[in-house]
Amino acid sequence: MKFPLLLALLVGGASALHLRPETSDFKSSSGDENLPSDVGISGPEVEECPPGEELIPLEEEEGSGSKDISGDEGAVSGQDVSDEDLQCPKEEDTMSLMGIPGCKTCRFLLVRNPRPFDNAQSVCRSCYRGTLASIHSFSVNFQIHSSVRRLNQGQVWIGGRIMGWGRCKRFRWIDGSSWNFAYWAAGQPRCGGGRCVTLCTQGGHWRRSHCAQRRPFICSY
C-alpha cells in the first residue's frame, strides 16, 4: 500500500511543477493584450534650440552665481527700480561713439550713468528707440572699445545675455539679431558667473557679469 501512495504523490508533484510556468506565461500574455501593437518605448524628444553660442552645462552655470538665477529673459528678481533709472540721461552724461565705416545706420551712444542691465535696456528703448548694442564683427568691437577705453569704469553693458531654458540656454543678442561673433576674455564664458555680457574698457574683450550690477552701457539706435 505504501508504494502506490508514494508513486501517486510523486506524479502529483511533477504535474504541479509543470503547470506553474504555464500559469505564469498565461498571466504575462493576457496583460499584453491591453497594449496597442504599434506602441514602442522611446526616449524624450530632442528640443530644437534657437541659434546662438552654446552655453556651458546647466549645473555648472547655475553653480557659478546666485544673483541672476530667477530667470533668463525677465527682469532680475529683487532689483530696485528708482525714478532715476526711469529718467532719460542728461546730454552731458552721454557720448556719441565713432561711426562704423560703410554703415550709415550703425549709431552707438555711451551712457555713463551706471544702471542694471534691464534698466539700461529700458533706457535705450524708451529714450533712443534702440537697444543695448549687438556686436557682429571685430571692426565694430574695436571702434566701440576705442571710444570707451578712457572710462574709469572697467566694464560696460552690451546687449548679450543668456536666454532660453535647460539644454537650450544660449548667449543671444537682446535685439534678436544672430549671434555670429564673440570676443571673449581668457577663460570666458565658462569662468565666472552672471547671465549678462559686458565689454571690458581695457582690451575690449567680453565677460559674463551679474545682470543686477550697475554699469555704464552702450545703446545702438
Q: What is the pLDDT of residues 35-69, one digit of tens each?
A: 444 434 334 444 466 667 766 654 444 444 444 44
According to DSSP, residue 184 is labeled B
- How many distinct structural domains can be found in the chain? 1
Is the confidence at residue 204, as pLDDT, over 70?
A: yes
Closest to 180 in 3D by CA, of 138, 145, 211: 138
The dihedrals phi and psi of 108, each to the nearest 5 degrees, come to -125, 145
Q: Is 214 exposed, middle or buried (0-12, 13-18, 19+ CB in 10 A)?
A: middle
pLDDT at position 151 is: 86
Residue 6 is assigned to a structural domain of this protein: no
Residue 19 is assigned to a structural domain of this protein: no
- pTM here is 0.68
Residue 13: in which H helix or E strand, if any? helix 2-32
Q: Which domain holds residue 193?
A: 53-220
CA–CA separation, 143 and 128 (whole Å): 20
User: pLDDT tens digit string along 133-176?
Assistant: 999 999 999 989 998 988 888 999 999 999 987 778 899 999 99
pLDDT at position 155 is: 96
Residue 37 is assigned to a structural domain of this protein: no
Residue 152 is assigned to a structural domain of this protein: yes
> 54 in helix, strand or coil?
strand
Contact 133, 220 (CB under 8 A): yes
Residue 155 is assigned to a structural domain of this protein: yes
CA–CA separation, 70 and 46 (whole Å): 25
pLDDT band at 19 (very low <50, low <70, confident <90, very high): very low
Residue 45 is assigned to a structural domain of this protein: no
Average predicted confidence (pLDDT) for the chain: 74
pLDDT band at 9 (very low <50, low <70, confident <90, very high): low
Residue 27 is assigned to a structural domain of this protein: no
CA–CA separation, 89 and 95 (whole Å): 11
Question: Which CATH number characterizes residue 163's domain?
Answer: 3.10.100.10
pLDDT at position 2 is: 52
pLDDT at position 150 is: 84
Residue 8 is assigned to a structural domain of this protein: no
Instruction: Compute how many other C-beta atoms are within 10 angstroms of the C-beta atom of residue 112.
Output: 17
Residue 171, all three cell numbers: 548667449
Is the confidence at residue 27, as pLDDT, over 60?
A: no
